[in-house]
Amino acid sequence: MQTSSFPLEKIQKDFPILQRTVRDGKPLVYLDNASTTQKPIQVINAISDYYTNHNANIHRAVYALAEEATEAYESTRDKIAKFLNIKNREEIIFVRGTTEAINLVAYAWGRQHIKEGDIIVTTEYEHHSNIVPWQLLTKEKGAKLEYIGVDDNGELILEHLDFYLKTGKVKLVTFSQMSNVLGTISNTEEIIAKCKKAGVKTLIDGAQSVPHMKVDIEKLGCDFFAFSAHKMLGPTGVGVLWARKDVLETMAPFHGGGDMIREVHKYETTWNDLPYKFEAGTPNIADVIGFSTAIDYLSKIGMDTIREHEIELTKYALEKMSQIKGITIYGTKDVLKRGGVISFNFHDVHPHDVATIIDRDGVAIRSGHHCAQVLMERLQVAATNRASFYIYNTKDDVDKLIKSLEKVAELFKL
Amino acid sequence: MSDPIYTEIIIDEAKNAQNQGTLENPDISQHDANPMCGDSITLQMKITGNSISDIKWHGDGCTICKACTSVLTQIIKGKDIDVAKNLKKEEILSELGLEHLIKQSPVRIKCALLSLKTLKLGLYSYLAKKIENSSSFDSLKEEAAKLY
């Protein structure tokens, strides 16, 4: 039984895809939510309604449709401000996703402020999107990229941060609030506090945290924050970069083009106000509007309620899975320190083989390096299996995963 | 219980994969990896005259990748370079009853063919160097890309 107050049955009915079957009539057990989540009918309808009834380009024309589209697009910014406790709506920049948000910072802030000999600090459990842009930047500038290590419990070793901060050369510390492989929730407040004391900027990758727990950006006090819509019931192709206004004002534009300008002359151009200076070209209007509905959906349930549901599910899964012979689970066992992401290996069976076999029962998990090869090296594995939960998952889903793992053991005679 | 991929033949072939290890002073040493899944192998060959006198491989891969690599090395060991150059994916897949992957599993076929792609890249680089004709290397790279 789930927590009695959690409207699980009602939620499941809102997701059309959960009604379908896969692989010859098996009900879908979707456990790849850290990768992307499914979409409720409300979000699908909002996108369809935009194209059916309101489609027009925004910020320019004066006719009725254009006003409706602009209003729907811009009101999403206000909704995000409320959802994450952001004071200034003009600090919210729409991008394609977390990856683009981080690249924007590396390009538009990094190229202005990073110099030879400077240090950028990231962590061993980052997604490639929070490593590669910094490799590109530090190589271009002759700066250095350093890593906060991960201990055997899957947590960041903050002494490493202290060590680098002492050099006085660190300009930016960039890290995920929740690991996409281990589910570890970073000591975000503590890291930001240390950096602030040292006068160092911070970027938080919130791609895994914002969908699953309450986040208060004002309270965090970081400088940059990035996240994606598609990991929180919204459409693909939409994400947000939030940055403090005074920081944004020191940055050069990212892309040049329409909408980001004030006046264009033959040889020079003046920039539009924030946030438009960083939103060149026609944006992904329909999907921003779909994202707005996703935020409504999550807000209605409540982020604390969602977190409780996932804690309960993760606790159940960790207990049940730990009892399976030959399983290795990575990261902390303390459910209060982790999200609903469980990476594991099963005997010495390659994760791709595990995922293929359990897919025959309709169980969808991720296998591979999860765009985190630096962490795979640290764990000394080539790949892991990863099951990750969201609001529509049940203890029954966990049971089905475990039952399918028994088939793997049978096939490989384990 | 029968499974369309994980038959005893494949699981046994992977568990007892042949020609694993490293060669001293190989004439060809080629590494390649599948970016999405982490399969990663190195193929090494000794060339004597026109033939592949020895071949070894090492790396980390799934059952399909290991079984296919094992089969590939057994097929071409001791054979003429031309045999290896003309080796078709069907020849490897049919040994393991995996021909159905071509049509049915666009993802897993990459695991099955990583060793063949690595072999062709290694051979063509070697041959291109020998004849100092880089255009043949490009055509081989194209051929390797078409394997999927």
Report the 3 state secondary structure along chain B. CCCCCCCHHHHHHHHCCCCECCCCCCCEEEEEECCCCCCEEEEEEEEECCEEEEEEEEEECCHHHHHHHHHHHHHHCCCEHHHHHCCCHHHHHHHHCCCHHHHHCCCHHHHHHHHHHHHHHHHHHHHHHHHCCHHHHHHHHHHHHCCC
In chain A, what residues touch B39 (CB-CB under 8 Å)?
A: 352, 382
Nearest to A382 among B5, B40, B64 (CB): B40
- Asked whether the CA dihedral A170, A172, A173, A174 is positive or negative, the reply is negative
Residue where a domain stops, chosen among A270, A299, A328: A299
pLDDT surpassing 60 at residue A3: no
* Same-domain pairing of A115 and A52: yes
Q: Is residue A112 part of a domain?
A: yes
Is residue A371 part of the annotated active site? The answer reads yes
pLDDT value at residue B105: 87
CB contact under 8 A, A352 and B1: no
**Residue A6 near chain B (CB below 8 Å):** no
Report how many domains make up chain A: 2
Which residue of B13, B62, B68 to mutate against A (max A Cβ within 10 Å)?
Answer: B62
ipTM for the predicted complex comes to 0.82
pLDDT band at B38 (very low <50, low <70, confident <90, very high): confident
Interface of B with A (CB under 8 A): 1, 3, 5-6, 11, 36-40, 60-65, 108, 111
CA of B27: how far to CAs of A181, A221, A413, B78, B104, in Å? 40, 58, 39, 14, 36
Output the domain CATH number for residue A286: 3.40.640.10
Q: How far is A155 from chain B (nearest CA, A)?
A: 24
pLDDT band at B136 (very low <50, low <70, confident <90, very high): low
Residues B99-112, mean pLDDT to the nearest whole number: 90
Nearest to B37 among A352, A357, A413 (CB): A352
pLDDT tens by residue, B6-32: 999 999 999 999 999 999 999 999 999
Domain that holds residue B67: 8-145
How many angstroms separate the CA atoms of A346 and A405, rounded? 8
Which residue of A23, A32, A348, A356 to mutate against B (max B Cβ within 10 Å)?
Answer: A356
Q: How far is A36 from chain B (nearest CA, A)?
A: 16
Q: Is residue B2 part of a domain?
A: no
In chain A, what residues touch B109 (CB-CB under 8 Å)?
A: none
pLDDT value at residue A251: 97
**Residue A411 near chain B (CB below 8 Å):** yes
8 A C-beta contact, residue A34 and residue A331? no
* Same-domain pairing of A20 and A59: no
pLDDT value at residue B129: 82
Kindly report which listed range (A25-29, A77-81, A409-413) carries the lowest average pLDDT score: A409-413
Q: A19: Cβ–Cβ under 8 A, 6 or more apart, which residues?
A: none
How many angstroms separate the CA atoms of B54 and B25, rounded? 11
Report how many domains make up chain B: 1
CB contact under 8 A, A352 and B64: yes
pLDDT value at residue A157: 98
pLDDT surpassing 50 at residue A236: yes
Residues B69-96, mean pLDDT to the nearest whole number: 96
Residue where a domain stops, chosen among A299, A323, A357: A299
Residues A282-299, mean pLDDT to the nearest whole number: 98
pLDDT value at residue B1: 53
CB contact under 8 A, A356 and B61: no
Angle, CA of A215, A188 and A141, to the nearest 5°: 110
Q: Is residue B92 part of a domain?
A: yes
pLDDT value at residue B107: 86
Q: Is residue B108 part of a domain?
A: yes
* Same-domain pairing of A20 and A55: no
CB contact under 8 A, A383 and B63: no
How many angstroms separate the CA atoms of A72 and A79, rounded? 11
In chain B, what residues touch A351 (CB-CB under 8 Å)?
A: 62
In chain A, what residues touch B69 (CB-CB under 8 Å)?
A: none
pTM of the model: 0.93
Kindly report which listed range (A359-363, B65-69, B70-74, B99-103) carries the lowest average pLDDT score: B99-103
How many angstroms separate the CA atoms of A158 and A137, rounded? 24
Q: B45: Cβ–Cβ under 8 A, 6 or more apart, which residues?
A: B23, B26, B27, B28, B29, B52, B54, B55, B122
Q: Which residues pair with A178 in a beta bridge?
A: A185
- pLDDT top residue among A61 and A144: A144
Q: How far is B63 from chain A (nearest CA, A)?
A: 7
Backbone φ/ψ region at A172: left (φ over 0), alpha (ψ -120 to 50), beta: beta
pLDDT tens by residue, A324-374: 999 999 999 999 999 999 999 999 999 999 999 999 999 999 999 999 999
pLDDT value at residue A290: 98
Domain that holds residue A245: 45-299
Residues A306-316, mean pLDDT to the nearest whole number: 98
List the catalytic residue out of A371, A376, A382, A402: A371
Kindly report which listed range (A161-175, B40-54, B120-134) carries the lowest average pLDDT score: B120-134
* Same-domain pairing of A371 and A225: no
pLDDT value at residue B144: 67
* Same-domain pairing of A199 and A121: yes
Nearest C-alpha in A relative to B11:
A412
Kindly report which listed range (A237-251, B10-24, B74-88, B96-110) carries the lowest average pLDDT score: B96-110
Residues A248-259, mean pLDDT to the nearest whole number: 95
Output the domain CATH number for residue A389: 3.90.1150.10
pLDDT band at A1 (very low <50, low <70, confident <90, very high): very low
pLDDT value at residue A216: 98
CB contact under 8 A, B1 and A369: no
- Computed over every residue of chain A, the mean pLDDT equals 96
**Residue A347 near chain B (CB below 8 Å):** no
pLDDT value at residue B134: 56
* Same-domain pairing of A289 and A315: no
pLDDT tens by residue, A175-194: 999 999 999 999 999 999 99
Nearest C-alpha in A relative to B61:
A350
How many angstroms separate the CA atoms of A200 and A203, rounded? 10
